[in-house]
Amino acid sequence: MNLSAGAHADSVTLRIQGSNTMGAVLVPALIRGLLEARGLHDIQTRSPSPGEQLVIAQTQDGTSLRFEVGAHGSRTGFDSLLAGQADLAASSRPINDQERSRLASLGDLASFGAEHVIAIDGVAVIVHPDNPLRQLTTRQLAQVFSGEIHDWNVLGGRGPIHVLARDDRSGTWETFRAQVLTPHAKRLTADAVRLESSEQLSDRVSADRYAIGFIGLASVRNARALAIADGDSRFMAPTISLIATQDYPLSRRLYMYSPPMRPSPWADALIAFAQSEPGQAIVAQQGFVAQTVQAMTVPVSPDMPALYRQLAREGRRLSVSFRFAEGSATLDNKALADVVRVQDYLRRHHLLQNKTTLVGFGDAKDDSARAVLLSRLRAMAVRRELAKADVVFRDIQGFGAQLPVATNEVDEGRIKNRRVEVWVSP
């Protein structure tokens, strides 16, 4: 396909609007990577105004290509799609039902062909480097950000708490609100300082020993991130491995949405490049977490079931957790893409025959035996997909509601706990 066909000097080749987390650095870097891979030259990146990036390049025949990136919050990406002012929406949270309905004339934006996970990120809760605090539960976070707890003395520190938060258009804010405030029936304190830029918020926190805020992992900078626990989960820091598996309580996916009824060859090319190995390498270089499958060693701990401890001692866990569409036994869009990634990994590392164990987990049920059965059925659903690549499994296990990664008191937490892990043996 000749992607430069029909392009004219000074015309806009591709317009991307939405997430500040993605648009500030990651999306321009992916665009540059795509253009370099296609042999374009004179590639330049400019910032004509705050929150705006422009990437320009020249084709071999002298055609000028222009890629405009607006980074003013995830909500603005969907608004721009509706208004015909964008070809792609970048979002640091999934499209909601209202947006999906409003944009229905452009096709189903929640479908596999329209919703694309580009990277994994973690919402890091940050404090000043001198703050003695090391960890908080999501309940404590809700109390702090609502103003219910307003002095560090309550939590083991000293002095008044200064709350900083992203603005209302931010997907980072919507993720934090959905995962921290809403489950505990709290609202953000009116005293919070609201900021559009993650980098600005991080710098404000690292300059104020009484401050606390939240930002994407790539913007921690000179601040210090706290370990977080949700419900009965253990405390987890926003490390690359815990974010890759989405076990970290405030992990999230970074999306691009492409309208099925308004196709764009350059949009398709950018999405394909972003999900390729070179594209995922750029994701990692920019401080986010790539979806490239890797094998990880998991430390053994006393709270693990005996069979799980054996897995941890003898095998390695792949950096993928399969999750399911809400209210369904069907793999969600990321899981469907991860099936191919895992198949490729097992094939490349000669692990197709009797080397792979699937481990299912679920949310709490009144009947623990039923929870175990459902978790095993989820593992079997993943087995059916992977078996299409001739994977022969060593074992299928179901551990029910054990080892939760989120609270079981709200729907979103229960959905997170319904997951399938992949383990490989030497």
Fold classified for 14-118+252-285: D-Maltodextrin-Binding Protein; domain 2 (3.40.190)
CA distance 341 to 234: 28
pLDDT band at 1 (very low <50, low <70, confident <90, very high): very low
- For 34, the token pair is 């795509």
Handedness of CA 145, 146, 151, 152 (dihedral sign): negative
Instruction: State CA 102 to chain mean position distance.
Output: 24
pLDDT the model gives residue 365: 86
Residue 317 clears pLDDT 70, i.e. is over it: yes
Those residues whose C-beta lies under 8 Å from the C-beta of residue 346, and which sit 6 or more positions away, are: 352, 355, 356, 386, 389, 391, 424
Instruction: With CA atoms as reference, report the closest residue to 150 among 90, 99, 211.
Output: 211
pLDDT the model gives residue 8: 43
Residue 253 clears pLDDT 70, i.e. is over it: yes
pLDDT band at 327 (very low <50, low <70, confident <90, very high): low
pLDDT the model gives residue 7: 45
pLDDT tens digit sequence for 50-97: 899 999 999 888 889 999 999 999 999 999 999 999 999 999 999 999
pLDDT tens digit sequence for 354-371: 999 999 999 888 888 999
pLDDT tens digit sequence for 174-191: 999 999 999 999 999 999
- For 136, the token pair is 């908080």
Rg (CA), the chain: 22
406 within 8 A of 417, measured Cβ to Cβ = yes
pLDDT the model gives residue 412: 85
pLDDT the model gives residue 86: 97
pLDDT band at 329 (very low <50, low <70, confident <90, very high): confident
Q: How does 84-102 read in b/e, with b if 16+ C-beta sit within 10 Å?
A: eebbbbbbbbbbbeebbeb
Instruction: With CA atoms as reference, report the closest residue to 63 among 10, 101, 112, 20.
Output: 10
- For 233, the token pair is 């989960």
Question: Residue 38 forms beta bridges with which residues?
Answer: none
Residue 378 clears pLDDT 70, i.e. is over it: yes
Instruction: State CA 53 to chain mean position distance.
Output: 22
pLDDT band at 376 (very low <50, low <70, confident <90, very high): very high
CA distance 333 to 255: 11
pLDDT the model gives residue 3: 55
Q: What is the dihedral of CA 14, 17, 19, 22, to 10 degrees?
A: 10
Instruction: With CA atoms as reference, report the closest residue to 74 among 246, 198, 255, 201.
Output: 255
Residue 388 clears pLDDT 60, i.e. is over it: yes
The three-state secondary structure class of 373 is helix
CATH class belonging to 293-424? alpha beta
Instruction: With CA atoms as reference, report the closest residue to 75 among 154, 156, 169.
Output: 169
Q: Where are the domains of the chain?
A: 14-118+252-285, 121-242, 293-424
Fold classified for 121-242: D-Maltodextrin-Binding Protein; domain 2 (3.40.190)
pLDDT the model gives residue 4: 47
275 within 8 A of 113, measured Cβ to Cβ = no
Whose tokens are 């977490």? That residue is 289
Question: Residue 129 forms beta bridges with which residues?
Answer: none
pLDDT band at 6 (very low <50, low <70, confident <90, very high): very low
Average pLDDT, the chain: 93
DSSP string, 236-301: B---HHHHHTT-STTEEEEEEE--TTS--HHHHHHHHHHTSHHHHHHHHHTTSB-----EE-----
**What percentage of the chain exceeds 90 in pLDDT?**
85
pLDDT band at 373 (very low <50, low <70, confident <90, very high): very high
- CATH topology match: 14-118+252-285 vs 293-424: no
CA distance 371 to 402: 9
Whose tokens are 């969600």? That residue is 332
CA distance 232 to 203: 32
Instruction: State CA 319 to chain mean position distance.
Output: 13
Residue 164 clears pLDDT 80, i.e. is over it: yes
26 within 8 A of 32, measured Cβ to Cβ = no
pLDDT the model gives residue 324: 87
pLDDT tens digit sequence for 86-131: 999 999 999 999 999 999 999 999 999 999 999 999 999 999 999 9
Count of CB atoms situated within 10 Å of the CB of 44: 10
Residue 195 clears pLDDT 90, i.e. is over it: yes
CA distance 295 to 316: 6
